[in-house]
Structure 1
Amino acid sequence: MDRFETIAEGVHAVRVPMPGGGLPYSLAYLIEDDDGRLHVIDPGSPTDDATRTLLDAVDVLGCTPRDIASIVTHLHADHAGGAAAVRAASGGALLMHAREAEAAATLARGVPAPDLDAWGVPADRRPELLAAVASPVAAGLPAPDAVLADGDLLDIPGRRVRVLWTPGHTPGHLCLHDEDAGLVFAGDHVLPTVNSGLGLGGPTAANPIADYLAGLGRVGELDGLALPGHEHPFTELAERTAALREHHLRRSREVAAHPDGTVWEIARDLTWTGGWDSLSGFTLLSALSQTAQHRDFVAP
């Protein structure tokens, strides 16, 4: 796919470059409405290159930044990092789920590090984990202009785009369902090949594994083309959500087989996509956090 691609009538995908050497790009989406305005889903990373790429796509459509009416996103920098710049250029309203706005504010203040001693983390691996905890994931994200709730219809004249609250990846992660066009904007909830990290929005009262599995059930019932936040659009959404559900249930079964181990000991024996030895820094912290979440999920 080139940097700009029309997905359906009035819906366009923009491949927004990501720094850091991991995934090369995120996917932003531009939706046209019947009033000639644009609506942005996930504007991308907080770099000049990312913002320029998105606004170049706006220009391709014969619009200007001032034609952007709204911006919907979740708190992670690779999706929301450009929100402040796009809002400043456009005056468009920044929208998030209420729980996401709360989580972003909490993360901006800083959250306590996990109890690495209770997790059984060796002393020589603790500095990299503490550094990963201290690295902000929502830095620079402004407070939203309005918050969204499950079941809301976005104010997009000529389209019925419904909000689906799908927590797990973050507390207020949203999917969006264009009911008439048969499009599911899946964000980081469902990606075509990558298994999204869970619990990456700070501490929550609910278990992110349970939340995520419930959201998979809802999204898996939808028909149409899935438009994810990374990789590429895909079909067979039911099959992919079923595979993700089994991936996490398999991990839960693996965790349940180690009832007396520490989080470190359990995680070390689990099956990781790139192998245990490949994990470091943030990816190691995420693996340990998800192991702890699975342990809580299967606890009697």
Structure 2
Amino acid sequence: MNDVPPVEDLGNGVWSLPVPIPHSPLGATLVYLVEGDRGPVLVDTGWNHDDSWDGLVQGVKQTGHAVEDIRGAVLTHFHPDHSGLTARLRASSDAWIAMHPADIAVTEQLAATGARERADSVAEQFRAAGFPDEDVDAFLADPHVIDPSALPDLALDDGAAVDLPGRDLRTLWTPGHTPGHLCLRLADADMLFTGDHVLPGITPHVGHFPLDTPAGDPLGDFLTSQRTVGALPGADRLLCLPSHERRFTGLPDRTATIVAHHEERLDAMTALLDEGPATLWELTSRLRWKRPWQDMRLLARHMAAAETAAHLRTLEERGRAARHGTDDRPRWVAVTGQASHT
């Protein structure tokens, strides 16, 4: 099991429960327990693994509660390190499970397709992006496709009050990282659960695949959501509780830094497109990443391509790039005469 930080009492009836993610550099998902008059509610559940479940059960026990006492769980989004333990939690308690409708729709779509079908879909995305045949073959030989979590019971729209008697916990829809990502504000404690939307040290992943569905602008949504969160009343005094890394303050400065990072990325991509048309693979492989492209694992390359695709979609929306070529092998070109967005 990865080394994980200890359970912490954050005051105001809020606890941090680090739930391990085995064999992941992230180490753990920071699940939070919020106490109420009629039982506690969890923010997220953690990865679906025996070690993760044991970590959650023992963490809840250290708060003076038992898993059987959990009133419900709000999932910030559908990703498996946040939603994976929903079925086990439901089987061990009468807890309701809630998520934003947009991520419920994604979960339903994933549940309706088999693992092989999902793997073939990803392989087609690779081909359309221009990935070499050896990368596509390597993926199909060992596809990284994760089963979706159990479907939630409840849908929580933007601004909804969470069923937590005695507390004022409300949702804030922050699409981008996923279509239905939620942050949650605990108004009676000046705390904001930021999920993966705002992290203190790393920039959350925002991807856009497949390429044959150009509708939507996840990065544009993400940047709007960052600005919205950073401008919340009293944002500068909120204690931010993310799902990874560490809690932090200074929310307006952090959201501004994240927005600036993506704007610089958009400008860098425009500069590369000025050199000539490029497929998604060609553009992604020429960008600067934390690790050199040639040293990146295939899964990391896939995530990098999805992130590049999201930036291209925003450039299209802003009139700074255009898609040419065929649907099965599109290329992008720069549109001259357009100023960068600020």
Structure 1-normalised TM-score?
A: 0.92
Matched-pair contact (CA < 8 Å) for 1:4–1:57: yes
Assess if the C-alpha contact under 8 Å between 1:15 and 1:27 holds in 2.
Answer: yes
Match of 1:153 in 2: 161
How much does 1:127 deviate?
2.6
Task: Find out whether 1:174 has 2:182 as its counterpart.
Answer: yes
Kindly provide the CA deviation profile for residues 171-221 of structure 1, in whole angstroms up to 9, marking residues without a partner as x: 111111112211110111111112211137977842111111011011112
Equivalent residue of 1:126, what SS?
helix
**One of 231, 244, 268 as aligned partner of 2:245:** 231
Distance in 2 between residues matched to 1:244 and 1:270, nearest whole Å: 18
The verdict on how the C-alpha distance between 1:173 and 1:9 changes in structure 2, with shifts beyond 3 A counting, is: same
Alpha carbons of 1:204 and 1:91: their partners in 2 closer, same or farther (altered >3 Å)? farther
Q: Distance in 1 between matches of 2:133 and 2:257?
A: 36
CA distance in 1, matches of 2:199, 2:140: 28
Is 1:14 aligned to 2:17, yes or no?
A: yes
Do structure 1's residue 284 and structure 2's residue 301 form an aligned pair?
yes
Map 1:97-108 onto structure 2 (within 5 A): 97-108=100-111
Indicate if the aligned counterparts of 2:208 and 2:309 stay in contact, CA closer than 8 A.
Answer: no
Residues 1:17 and 1:117: Cα distance change in structure 2 (over 3 Å)? closer
> Distance between the aligned counterparts of 1:71 and 1:131, measured in 2?
36
> Which letter does structure 2 place at the counterpart of 1:186?
T
Residue 146 and residue 274 in structure 1: after superposition, are their counterparts in 2 closer, same or farther (change >3 A)? same
Residue 79 of structure 2 aligns with which residue? 76
Structure 2 residue aligned with 1:217? 227
Q: Which amino acid aligns with 1:285?
A: H
Equivalent residue number for residue 271 of structure 1: 288
- Give 2:129's aligned residue: 119
Tell me if the contact between 1:95 and 1:146 (Cα under 8 Å) persists in the aligned partners: yes
Contact 1:17 1:45 (C-alpha < 8 Å) held by counterparts: yes
1:88 aligns with 2:91: yes
Residues 278 and 238 from structure 1, CA distance in 2 versus in 1: closer, same or farther, beyond 3 angstroms?
farther
Distance 2:150 2:36 in 1: 25
Measured after TM superposition, the shift of residue 161 of structure 1 is 1.2
Q: How many residues align?
A: 297
Of residues 45, 51, 54, the one that matches 1:52 is 54
Shift of 1:140: 4.8
What's the TM-score, normalizing by structure 2? 0.81
Once residues 117 and 288 of structure 1 are traced to their aligned partners in structure 2, the CA distance between those partners, rounded to angstroms, is 12
Assess if the C-alpha contact under 8 Å between 2:183 and 2:195 holds in 1.
yes
Q: What's the CA shift for 1:40?
A: 0.6
Q: Does the 8 A contact of 1:252 with 1:298 survive in 2?
A: yes
Q: Deviations over 1:255-292 (max 9, x none)?
A: 11233111112112212122323322221111111112
Q: Tell me which residue corresponds to 2:69.
A: 67
The aligned residue for residue 297 of structure 1 is 314
Determine helix, strand or coil for the equivalent of 1:215: helix
User: What SS class does the counterpart of residue 256 from structure 1 fall into?
Assistant: helix
Query: In 1, distance between residues paired with 2:267 and 2:136?
Result: 27
Deviations 1:46-80 (A, max 9, x none): 11221121121222222222211111112111111
What is the RMSD of the two structures over their aligned residues, measured on CA atoms?
A: 2.0
Are residues 295 and 95 of structure 1, via their aligned partners in 2, closer, same or farther at CA, if it must alter by over 3 Å?
same
Q: Which runs of 5+ in 1 are unaligned?
A: none
Deviations 1:221-259 (A, max 9, x none): 232011001111111111111111111111111111233
The percentage of counterpart residues that share the same residue type is 35
In structure 2, what is the Cα distance between the partners aligned to 1:84 and 1:189?
24
Task: State the Cα deviation string for residues 20-54 of structure 1 (Å, max 9, x = none).
Answer: 2321111000000023x010111111112211211
Give the whole-Å Cα distance in 1 for the aligned partners of 2:37 and 2:98: 20
Aligned residue identity for 1:247? H
Amino acid aligned to 1:238: P
Gaps of 5+ in 2: 320-342
Q: Secondary structure at the match of 1:175?
A: strand
CA distance in 1, matches of 2:71, 2:200: 29
| Stretch moving more, 57-66 or 182-191 | 57-66
- Matched letter for residue 21 of structure 1: S
